[in-house]
Amino acid sequence: MTIEVVTEVTAEVVESIARLIPQLSSTALPPNRDELAGIVASPGATLFVGRLDAPGRPIVGTLTLITCRIPTGVHAMIEDVVVDEAARGAGCGAALVAAALERAREAGVRNVDLSSRPSREAANRLYVRMGFEQRETNLYRYRHT
């Protein structure tokens, strides 16, 4: 498994993320090329992809690390982690998370947060194995209608 930071939005990246996002969310639309370019250009976002070490080296996973300075320090969130159903269990998720944690450490981040639906049992087990601790908190969402 090879993990890369996306620095250029290619057709392959657009197509791969368009294939992966529906496996993460049944309601979110995949970002288009311009939206992905905005993510890649953002100083507070790092878009990672995971590639199989196999012929053609297809992209089989993605993760976004968000970092920003807030009054209490540098805050980081891991968002939109998804690995293609056909490639799950091959270590892509762990490799993506490890790369994001290393990037966050290099940025001076002390704590990295993420959230995951309870129904994503394998993902939740992975996060615990990697050292994440479930926090006692209330997560709220406001929806603009």
Q: At residue 139, does pLDDT exceed 90?
A: no
Query: pLDDT of 37-81, one tens digit each?
Result: 999 999 999 999 999 988 789 999 999 999 999 999 999 999 999
pLDDT digits (tens, 9 = 90+) for 71-115: 999 999 999 999 999 999 899 999 999 999 999 999 999 999 999
Given a cut of 90, whether residue 129 has pLDDT beyond it is yes
131 backbone φψ class: left, alpha, beta (φ>0; ψ -120 to 50): left
Confidence at 128, pLDDT banded by 50, 70, 90 = very high
Give the C-alpha separation, 90 to 107, whole Å.
Answer: 28
The domains of the chain, with CATH numbers, are 2-129 (3.40.630.30)
